[in-house]
Amino acid sequence: MANVQVIQRNAHLAGPVRIEFVERREGRIAKGVLTAISNAVRGSGDTREQQATAIQWTLWGPQAENAAAYLGRGSHVNIVGRVKNNNFEKDGATVYGMDFTVEEIDYLDSRAEAEARRGPEGRAQQHPSRPAAHANA
């Protein structure tokens, strides 16, 4: 099955990056999930309206860990990734779905904006997999 490239530009995160560690053939690996929202303006004049598009993306490995450490709600990003069908049968009916996987992610906020978003301590929210001693690194 072929993958299709998806590009989401000038998006902002709807919430923090959720991270967990999963067992794979290669061993334990980080899996991150984020929701990015981008707005497009359609029409002109009196018929002009904004249309929001929200995509739930999955990140893997160091890319997921970095995103969890440096991105938070409202962070601005550009994302390039791929979409793949994940259709399956349930109770005799086909359930249609899509998986969006990040290949590249650009952090668009300046250092000052990112630090302000991370809170008064100037560091990202600590996630459970990382001990406090490493959070300042």
Express each pLDDT in 46-82 by its tens digit.
888 989 999 999 999 999 999 999 999 999 999 999 9
pLDDT bracket for residue 19 (50, 70, 90): very high
Beta bridge partners of 29: 22
pLDDT given at position 126: 41
Kindly state which CATH superfamily the domain 4-53+60-110 is placed in: Nucleic acid-binding proteins (2.40.50.140)
pLDDT given at position 13: 97
pLDDT given at position 111: 84
Q: Which has the higher per-residue pLDDT, 47 or 37?
A: 37
- Computed over every residue of the chain, the mean pLDDT equals 86
| Under 8 Å between Cβ of 55 and 34 | no
pLDDT given at position 23: 95
pLDDT exceeds cutoff 90 at 129: no
3-state helix, strand, coil split of the chain in percent (to 5) is 20, 50, 30
Residues 6 or more apart whose Cβ sits within 8 Å of residue 137: none
| Per-residue tokens: 94 | 């086909």
pLDDT given at position 48: 87
pLDDT given at position 1: 57
pLDDT given at position 104: 97
pLDDT given at position 135: 37
Residue with tokens 């952090």: 107
pLDDT exceeds cutoff 70 at 125: no
pLDDT given at position 38: 96
